[in-house]
């Protein structure tokens, strides 16, 4: 691959010199989003490093990434065959596997339409515009009463531990037609274990590139494998129960609708893409897996910012009080009337950039970008963190300023500024849960801010330092919450 001849008119990729065997692994360090952003300053928007023996191209800069993922989308939308990905859903994941393009496209379409139809289903009462809204609003109510109870008994709480169950219940409701109590051991054991998962799936996990590292007694990789097994068992059990009680005339949830699709397909002799039932029903693993950790992380970061910037929390509360009132819970229809809330959420995505890189991509044929030659099957990392902190795009990028997204009169969100934030990737691989995720973050957060006031434990400084991974989290730390007393306001 190295010796591939560079076609005439194209240049060899720039980048740091690699060491034998380990390549540039040492330069990646513990925070690859930061080290690769600094390298980008030196080598430009398209450069190459080597991790182990394998070349990896790093893309930065909004324009360059748009060129690759939108204009040259067909060439930049495959996934590399990485060791750790082979464990996820037994190597049959929609998001992580190296499916042929036709198979991936057909699965993605199925996943997308199942998600859309189950979130748009009518709610059980007319106050909700759709089932998704109903699920979120009800979970938000339960979350508030859970936080209230733990505050009374313990005096502080770990936000992640509570939010994760509520968020997991929203996606469980759609995928499996069920929810779990906040003290359900089986769910808690599963969803509280995502740390090792995100660490191993983050771009630049060395064991994916340097084979001998896989055989060292590394706890992270072992825990990761154990988590994927436990996760697959959890979902398989629910799927078997669905098969046993499946009734064509009563499709209860996304799992049923995927089973139904397999049944229909058996009758359809003209189906042009061959897919096993496992690959179809396995889509629920991806939806469930992608659906809780990301949204929970977004909400955990949001609470941290509220606590760190009490004057921003005050403004958010006032906006809610003036535009929604305090007698009913916020609804999706209120979103357009809460521009400061919308700006706060955009700034949370930008400033935290908690998905610093997309899932790694891979070239599907020999190609070129900005005049540089990139051979087929090259692994490509897309640096979303860099786009969100690029001083060319943002004034004072390291400061947390929701107002940067407001129009001059403060009455609406500046859409063009908002679209500059990169959190869900773009192009053919972009996140299929974006609408659901944005709705969840908005509704959970608006309800929490309307009902609770958050603060830090006295004398304990907040530690925002993110731990690198596919989704970056900070160290778990307890917060305090007090109910807003409606009568006093």
Q: Which residues bind ligand HEM (CB under 6 A)?
A: 94-95, 108, 111, 115, 171, 286-287, 290-291, 294-295, 298, 355, 358-359, 423-425, 429-433, 436-437
456/478 Cα distance (integer angstroms): 8
Q: Tell the smallest beta-carbon distance from residue 436 to ligand HEM (Å).
A: 5
CB of 53 to ligand HEM, least distance (A): 24
CB burial of residue 441 (10 Å; 0-12, 13-18, 19+) = buried
> In whole angstroms, how far apart are CA 59 and each of 45, 95, 181, 430?
6, 20, 43, 16
Q: Which of 80, 35, 92 is nearest to 55 (CA)?
A: 80
The alpha-carbon radius of gyration of the chain (Å, integer) is 23
Shortest reach from residue 295's CB to ligand HEM, in Å: 5
Q: Which is nearer to ligand HEM, 385 or 424 (CB)?
A: 424
CB of residue 238 to ligand HEM, shortest distance in Å:
16
User: Least CB distance from residue 426 to ligand HEM, whole Å?
Assistant: 7
Tell me how far, at minimum, the Cβ of 57 lies from ligand HEM, in Å. 14
Nearer to ligand HEM, 210 or 284 (CB): 284
DSSP 192: T
- Using alpha carbons, select from 360, 342, 343, 313 the residue that is nearest to residue 470: 360
Q: Which residue is nearest to ligand HEM (CB)?
A: 433
Smallest distance from ligand HEM to CB 283, Å: 8
CB of 129 to ligand HEM, least distance (A): 18
Tell me whether residue 172 or residue 210 sits nearer to ligand HEM (CB atom).
172
Q: Any residues with CB less than 8 A from the CB of 387 and at least 6 apart, and which?
A: 60, 61, 62, 65, 393, 420, 422
Answer yes or no: is 379 a known binding residue: no
Residues 6+ apart with CB under 8 A from 39: 15, 16, 27, 47, 49, 58
Q: Which is nearer to ligand HEM, 15 or 80 (CB)?
A: 80
| Dihedral sign (CA 328, 333, 338, 342) | positive
Q: Which of 49/287 has CB closer to ligand HEM?
A: 287
CA dihedral 210, 213, 214, 219 (to 10 degrees): -140
| DSSP reduced 3-state for 8 | coil
Which C-beta is closer to ligand HEM: that of 221 or that of 436? 436
Fill in the DSSP letter of residue 68: I
266-303 as b/e, with b when 16 or more CB fall inside 10 Å? eeeeeeeeebeeebbbbbbbbbbbbbbbbbbbbbbbbb
Residue pair 83/73 in contact (Cβ under 8 Å)? The answer is no
261 CB-side CA count, 13 A: 23
Distance CA 355, CA 95 (A): 15
How many Cβ atoms from other residues are within 10 Å of residue 155's Cβ?
10
Q: Which two tokens stand for residue 196?
A: 């090792």
Judged by beta carbon, residue 224 or residue 354, the one nearer ligand HEM is 354
Nearer to ligand HEM, 18 or 356 (CB): 356
438 or 451: CB nearest ligand HEM? 438
Taking the complex as a whole, the smallest distance from the CB of residue 111 to ligand HEM amounts, in Å, to 6
What does the alpha-carbon distance between residue 108 and residue 115 come to, in Å, rounded to a whole number?
A: 10
Binding-site residue numbers are 431
Binding-site residue numbers for heme are 431
């Amino acid at each position: 691959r190295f010796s591939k001849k560079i076609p005439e008119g194209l240049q060899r990729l720039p980048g740091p010199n690699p060491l034998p065997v380990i390549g540039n692994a040492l330069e990646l360090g513990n925070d690859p989003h930061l080290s690769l952003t600094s390298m980008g300053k030196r080598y430009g928007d398209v450069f190459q490093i080597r991790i182990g023996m394998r070349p990896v191209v790093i893309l930065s800069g909004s324009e360059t990434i748009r060129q690759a993922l939108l204009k040259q989308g067909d060439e930049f939308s495959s996934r590399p065959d990485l060791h750790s990905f082979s464990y996820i859903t037994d190597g049959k994941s929609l998001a992580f596997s190296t499916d042929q393009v036709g198979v991936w496209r057909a699965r993605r379409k199925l996943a997308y339409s199942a998600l859309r139809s189950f979130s748009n289903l009518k709610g059980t009462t007319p106050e909700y515009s759709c089932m998704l809204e109903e699920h979120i609003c009800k979970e938000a109510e339960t979350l508030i009463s859970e936080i209230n109870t733990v505050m009374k008994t313990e005096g502080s709480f770990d936000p992640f531990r509570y939010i994760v169950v509520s968020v997991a219940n929203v996606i469980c409701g759609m995928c499996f037609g069920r929810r779990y109590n906040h003290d359900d051991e089986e769910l808690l054991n599963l969803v509280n274990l995502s740390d090792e998962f995100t660490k191993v799936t983050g771009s630049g996990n060395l064991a994916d590139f340097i084979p001998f590292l896989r055989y060292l007694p590394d706890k992270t990789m072992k825990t990761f494998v154990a988590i994927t097994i436990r996760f697959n068992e959890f979902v398989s059990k629910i799927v078997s129960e669905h098969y046993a009680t499946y009734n064509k005339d009563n499709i209860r949830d996304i799992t049923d609708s995927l089973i139904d699709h397999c049944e229909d397909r058996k009758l359809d002799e003209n189906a042009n893409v061959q897919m096993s039932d496992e690959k179809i029903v396995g889509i629920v693993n991806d939806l469930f897996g992608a659906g809780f950790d990301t949204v929970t992380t977004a909400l955990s970061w949001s609470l941290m910012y509220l606590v760190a910037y009490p004057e921003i929390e005050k403004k958010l509360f006032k906006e809610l009080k003036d535009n929604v009132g305090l007698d009913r819970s916020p609804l999706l229809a209120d979103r357009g009337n809460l521009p400061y809330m919308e700006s706060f959420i955009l700034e949370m995505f930008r400033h935290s950039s908690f998905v610093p890189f997309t899932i790694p991509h891979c070239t599907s044929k020999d190609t070129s970008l900005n005049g540089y030659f990139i051979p087929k099957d090259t692994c490509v990392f897309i640096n979303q963190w860099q786009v969100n902190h690029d001083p060319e795009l943002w004034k004072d990028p390291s400061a947390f300023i929701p107002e940067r997204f407001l129009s001059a009169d403060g009455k609406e969100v500046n859409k063009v500024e908002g679209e500059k934030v990169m959190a869900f990737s773009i192009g053919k691989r972009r996140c299929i849960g974006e609408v659901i995720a944005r709705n969840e973050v908005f509704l959970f957060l608006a309800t929490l801010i309307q009902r609770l006031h958050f603060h830090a434990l006295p004398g304990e400084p907040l530690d925002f330092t993110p731990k690198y991974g596919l989704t970056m989290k900070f160290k778990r730390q307890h917060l305090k919450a007090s109910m807003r007393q409606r009568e006093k306001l």
